[in-house]
Structure 1
Amino acid sequence: MTEEQRRGIEQDCARLVALYANLNDAGRWADVAALYAPDGRMARPTAPDEWTEGRDAILAAFLARPARTTRHVCSNVVIDVLSDSEATGESAMLLFTGEGAPKVGSFHDRFVRIEAGWRFAERRGSLTF
């Protein structure tokens, strides 16, 4: 793999992190779920050991949430390219809601390249405070 290819993968995966935050804040749940591989899984920052598995189940989980206004700010995104079809990543997250203090946490991600492009194979959130 060339340096240019590696940087392209890093950029594609970092874009997923940002797109996830923006689509989540917009309440575009079908688009959020589509960022996952069909067999992808997620664990929310408030329940990092409780996995929701499969794109359909992820969509259902988002649809079941009460409506709220949020703004996710993601930074310190570091992507490690493992191969031309796999990568991992970590990012810091700051969540603002209309109620309560902001939440600070992180995401640990596994990315896979499928026919449709790069997607989350796994997205695990955790809260620091």
Structure 2
Amino acid sequence: MSAALSPDSIRAIEHDCAKLVARYANRNDAADWEAVTALYAPEGRMARPTAPDDWITGREAILAAFKARPPRVTRHVCSNVEITVVDADTALGESAMLLFTGEGAPKVGSFHDRFVRLPDGWHFAERRGLLTF
């Protein structure tokens, strides 16, 4: 972590990045794919928990991937959010995820994130999901 950052700056970055994690879950559950996609950096990439090694890169491709999914009702519950500030423009994150779909057993997993600060604020540079069970 950069020695130049004050404790208040570090807390602000942690807060902003944790808020992205919550916003992602809420917009995903609302099927607001444009809002979800806007949370990524323009060349950001994501890998779904069901395919953690299958990267989708760029906002256009991410939006297309969400729109291609069959409609469903979901509720993502994210917790244990831990943000590590690397420097003034980069942070890493890990969070636990519980997914309810109304069909079958809930899915339990995690997200591993890399955040980047752009002129308009913090975004996901990378979001990788993993299923535990």
1:100 is matched with 104
Tell me whether 1:49 sits opposite 2:53 in the alignment: yes
**Is 1:20 the equivalent of 2:15?**
no
CA RMSD of aligned residues (A): 0.3
Q: Distance in 2 between matches of 1:45 and 1:22?
A: 17
Give 3-state SS (helix, strand or coil) of 1:47's partner. Answer: coil
Give, as a single letter, the amino acid of the residue that structure 1 aligns with 2:26.
Answer: N
Provide the C-alpha distance between the structure 1 equivalents of 2:28 and 2:89, rounded to a whole number of angstroms: 25
Match of 1:120 in 2: 124
**Unaligned segments of structure 2, at least 5 residues:** none
Question: Percent sequence identity over matched residues?
Answer: 71
The CA deviation string for residues 10-55 of structure 1, in whole angstroms up to 9 with x for no partner, is: 0000000000000000000000000000000000000000000001
| Moved segments of 4+, more than 2 Å | none
Question: With structure 2 as the length reference, what TM-score do the two structures score?
Answer: 0.97
Alignment partners' CA distance in 1, 2:82 and 2:131: 18
SS in 2 for 1:45: coil
Shift, 1:95, TM fit: 0.1
Give the count of matched residue pairs.
Answer: 129
Who is 1:71 aligned against?
A: 75
Shift of 1:115: 1.1
Structure 1 counterpart of 2:31, one-letter code: G
Task: Output the CA distance in 2 between the equivalents of 1:42 and 1:97.
Answer: 20
Give SS of 2:103's match: coil
Deviation at 1:98, TM superposition (A): 1.4
Cα separation, 2, equivalents of 1:77 and 1:98:
24
TM-score normalized with structure 1 length: 1.00
